[in-house]
Amino acid sequence: MPAKPKPPPPGPEDGAPPAPFWRTKTLETLTPQEWESLCDGCGRCCLIKLEDEDTGEVHHTDIGCTLLDGRRCRCRDYANRQKRVPDCVRLTPEAVRALTWLPRTCAYRLVRDGQDLYPWHPLVSGRRASVHEAGISVRGRLSGNEEEFDDEEYPDRIVSWPGES
């Protein structure tokens, strides 16, 4: 289980350096570069998800989108993902506010909810590998990509991910 986010540090009025952008800005005021840097590279938003029609509960699987590179935990064609995968959800401030399936550890969700990033987030640690070292990413946990499974196999691939229970 990942550590709980830390409270914000002292601000400039205390003689400390200014707080990082994710502590002072809303999703709507982030620059494009800041927005992209919030992605921790876990790859969990690119998993196949199943929604229970009766309860609306969303279940994550260990199956990646056809474009998910399970080793790098990145999209293989990020610039063209929505053309190649029509149901790919583009994260925007509006989408982040509406989506219920974003991982609890997701930086977009944390900023939305006024919480701090986890110590393993690359913006905090200064290292891209920290998300994998913390066991948060899909690296080494995928059974395969969606084209490798029949739809009827999806329910058998429902799993729990770190930080979600």
How far from 151 is each of 86, 116, 145, 147, 158, CA to CA, in Å? 17, 37, 12, 9, 12
Q: Summarize pLDDT for 94-132 with one digit per residue, the tens.
A: 999 999 899 999 999 999 999 999 999 999 999 999 999
Q: Which residues, at least 6 apart from 133, have a Cβ–Cβ distance to it below 8 Å? A: 120
Q: Where are the domains of the chain?
A: 18-157
Quote the pTM value.
0.84
Secondary element (H or E) of residue 98: helix 93-98
Q: Summarize pLDDT for 31-75 with one digit per residue, the tens.
A: 999 999 999 999 999 999 999 999 989 999 999 999 999 999 999
